[in-house]
Amino acid sequence: MKLPALKIFWIFVMVLTIGISNSCSEDDGQISCNPQYNVFASINLALPLYSELQNPNGWAYIQGEGAGTRGIIVVNTGQGFRAYDRNAPHICPNTQSTIEVRDAIKMYCPHDGAEWILLTGQPIQNSEGFAPDRTPRVYQTSFQGGILEIFN
């Protein structure tokens, strides 16, 4: 028994619509609500404020103009530098979502206890079993003549 062409067409349209609507999942606005901005910060590692960055595993907060809305975390990996945005990547910004460095080995979000490895930015499971589904935004770095530039 053959279905008329019009019925086949409508069945096809319904299946296609259901398939498309199921494949488009929401992101809960977690990444789209984080501010997008131009970042360009230049720091002199000879200054006492940034002396920790002269050593492998040393880190520092970078604040001020060109450092985004909440600042940047910079770490000396021993093979170069990594620079992270301090906005928690997995939630919309609020008063408790500025990433902090804890124990000089991990980054921590006070809002929900999310944690990331400082040297790599990889999420780690905290004591409650929670691991964030996103890594912090990473900025490019360039180091020449004792000056570290951070940019996107």
Question: How many degrees, rounded to 5, is the angle at CA 107 between CA 34 and CA 96?
Answer: 50
Give DSSP secondary structure letters for 60-71: EEE-STTSTTT-
Question: Tokens representing 14?
Answer: 């319904």
Assign a CATH topology to domain 40-151.
Rieske Iron-sulfur Protein (2.102.10)
Residue of 107 and 10 predicted with greater confidence: 107
pLDDT tier, 63 (very low <50, low <70, confident <90, very high otherwise): very high
pLDDT digits (tens, 9 = 90+) for 18-56: 655 544 444 433 356 777 889 999 999 999 999 999 999
Domain assignments of the chain as residue spans, ordered by start: 40-151
Using CB atoms within 10 Å of the CB of residue 18, give its burial: 0 to 12 exposed, 13 to 18 middle, 19+ buried.
Answer: exposed
| 70 CB-near residues (< 8 Å, 6+ apart) | 85, 86, 87, 93, 98, 99
Single pTM value for the model: 0.77
